[in-house]
Chains A and B, each alone.
Chain A
Amino acid sequence: MNTIFGGRVRVLDLSMGWAGPLAGQMFTEMGAEVIKVEDTHHFDWWRGSLSMAPPEMQPIERAAVFNTANRGKRGVTLDLASARGIEILKRLVKISDILVENFSPGVMDRLGLGYDSVSAINPRLIMISMPSFGGDGPECNARGYGNTVEAMAGVTGLTGYHDGAGQHYTLSNALGDPVAGLHAVFALMVALREREDTGRGQFIELAQVESLIPFVGGAILEYQFTGMVPRPRGNRHREHAPHGIYRCAGDDNWIALACETDDQWRSLAAALGMARLAEDRRFEDASARKANEDALDAELSSALAPLNADDCAARLRDAGVLAAPVNSAAAVMADPQIQSREYFVAIERAVVGTHLYPGAVARIPDTPLRADAPAPLLGEHNRQVLAETLGMTDEEIAELERSGVIGSSPRQYRAA
């Protein structure tokens, strides 16, 4: 298979959670060799908690999110509290192109792996650090994860019902994480290209919160222009109506629909067999519908309540109205457009079996992205990486295992 990198780029991935690991995973899609290093004492927290199930169930190998974000990587464990663990890591630094980390600021320095140290070992190395709020500044040591980053970027403050008495909501996908990860991939691609000219690597800092703030740039400008703090609009729109989510037949089935023109409004009324609405003076044009939006929503709510959401959305789309069912996970995966492009890929992985995972987004014909390899078990590739990549002998590796520098059993680390 002709991939972009064809194994010619090596990524050392020390990151945990989602933001950093997503960056590593997207490099596996491009055919880079990605070595994920987990500390024997602190395995990636996204594997979940050992206390969730008895040890024989291997709970930390059953985390869907970990198993998605680390696909295609080679998994290595190293005791980063030991001098020998650090020494092995430095040998990997020497032969890598990229180092990804998202520890709290200062941790890499304490490990002796600050950029000055790693670039002295390997001047071609590109290192990216992904602190939540930045590597400097008065609040650089504050902890943040996907949802807290989302809050500090201003997203949560804009998320709420239009009549919601101030309650804010966190989004469903820990948005700060994938957004930071995507920016990291972009930054690393830029730095790799720059290295072709300069022959040198560089240090890149990506504060996760700073990567999400641009997404609410509109609200930040609105405040500057109006002097008013933008409030959540819920499912409503500044100008258009109807623009909302309405209950349909069934247990928890909903339809999202919007009309952005008077024509769409008339089409909607016709498609629902409600000519009466199209003639109603209260709804005759956009400003009238906006002014009478509560009444409009009440009319639509009663009209839509007995209908099947999927059928109704299809009918409205055919009529030129913006509409979709509010899809649950299962419905997303069954979406005809998603299915027809074979977006999800089946992957078999040890312990958990075969599941569908989201595929690579970009379709690149001559050098297709590959997202179809499983995530590693804890320490799964210790031997392979130490022997094949670093040229260690079986005896050396066995000795490292005995002394706990590497290992593949989390319980062992707890005792250590």
Chain B
Amino acid sequence: MRYRALSDVRVVDLTHFIAGPYATKLLADMGADVVKVEPPWGEGGRMLGPHRADREDRGGLFAFLNLNKRGVTLNLKHARGRELIAGLLDGADLLLENFAPGTLAALGLAPGELMAKFPRLSVVSISNFGQDGPERDGKLNDLVLFARGGWTFPVGERDREPLTPPGSLAQYVSALYGAVGAMQALAARGLGRGHGQHIDISILEATVATMIYETVTFQYTGIQRSREGKRFAVGPFLIVTLKCKDGYAGLHCVTDKQFKGLCDLMGRRELASDPRFNTALNRMLNNNALLEIVEEFFIGRERKWLYCEGQRRAIPLVPIPSAAEVLEWEQTRARNYFETIDDPVLGTIRVPGTPLRLTSHRAQASRPAPQLGEHNREIFGGRLGLSNSAIDALMKAGAI
């Protein structure tokens, strides 16, 4: 869905793949005027999976991450391409990019020079390691990022290799820091406390930022969390992923009240006063014994029954859904969460809706992600005032 809260904000979007495009999607969903600038051969993210069987040319993720943006093509290595980008930046509030550090400068688009030329402009750079430091030019992928940032070490079986988290979760976290950073730049400018600023987001730091259970708790207690298999950790709680009759369920039993509820659910009220489990401290000391009891109970029950009966007792106990079940979940349906998009290439797709539900005004339906160069004439003609024949000549020259 698309709101119009940021409809007066102009964004030039040079991002590609995931971390940058999700940041600008957040802005676009709030109504910012986002012009996505790609090379004439398209950004790499267009090819990311998943793919519809006969449409290798347009990845599903691209169609999701670039909703509500308009798309133009520009060759930044071409002199005319650089003139056009300057035209787009004139009057823009934000430039977002996630190239390797130094790339913009090498193209003659150093952030400092751009901001001097365009005083309204702030630049948000999202990069693997930040704009400085000994490894600023290093490469990453998700597996290596999760490992280095600390997410992987405590996950998995104790006697096996650590288990990486799935997908590109940390890239999305970085995107959020990028979108917040963009709003911070606008706020500072709006309050007269800063002009254009170059905001530097390190994906590695954004990844480490969420690891407070590890980094801070470790200093307090001196205890380094190790892999505890199905358990989140051994503590005065039982946060665990349990096999049940028809799949897995997630249990979060932390407080005394939740523990009493769990005992009641299992028909074992006496456990609440059992000296092994009657306090948080005792539940930590006897965590293995407690887990055994709970495991045995869960294995004979169905997910749905556990969810209903657990929640009835105010225990945070949930079935663990597959991606398919998330899509069909009654709760998301009732709230019209997934949005149906009529994509020009992929046809009808259902995508996660915007999680922010503003009430200041009504949201509109999203606009599909742009096809390559779809808005060249609209933007170069309409905004920059180029004639059709001038645009044709630029295309012929390979500038757009």
Contacts and interface: CB of A to CB of B under 8 A. Distances in A.
Contacts of B320: 151, 156-157, 168
Contact of B153 (A225, A327, A358): A327
A220 B321 contact: no
Interface residues of B, number: 149
B160 interface: yes
Given A143-B314, A145-B254, A326 B156 contact: no
Contacts of A145: 252, 254, 316
A157 B322 contact: yes
Contacts of A219: 50, 166-167, 323
Given A216-B167, A254-B162, A173 B210 contact: yes
A416 interface: no
A216 B323 contact: yes
Interface residues of A, number: 150
Interface in A45-71: 45, 48-49, 51-52, 62, 64-65, 67-69
B144 interface: yes
Nearest to A369: B184
A244 B323 contact: no
B17 interface: no
B149 interface: yes
B254 A175 contact: no
A332 interface: yes
A216 B356 contact: no
A413 interface: no
B70 to A, nearest CB: 20
A314 to B, nearest CB: 10
B140 interface: yes
Interface in A350-365: 352, 355-359, 361-365
The 5 closest A-B CB pairs, nearest first, are A256-B147, A189-B183, A329-B214, A221-B60, A222-B50
Interface of A: 2-6, 8, 26, 30, 45, 48-49, 51-52, 62, 64-65, 67-69, 133-134, 136-145, 147-148, 150-161, 166-175, 178-179, 182-183, 185-187, 189-194, 196-198, 200, 202-207, 210-211, 213-226, 229-230, 232-235, 237-238, 243-247, 252, 254-258, 260, 317, 320, 322-333, 335-338, 340-341, 343-344, 352, 355-359, 361-367, 369
28 contacts: A2-B194, A4-B184, A51-B280, A68-B216, A152-B318, A161-B157, A169-B163, A169-B241, A171-B169, A178-B209, A182-B173, A187-B356, A192-B187, A193-B5, A200-B360, A215-B169, A219-B167, A221-B63, A224-B60, A224-B349, A230-B322, A245-B163, A254-B162, A260-B141, A326-B152, A332-B211, A364-B184, A364-B188
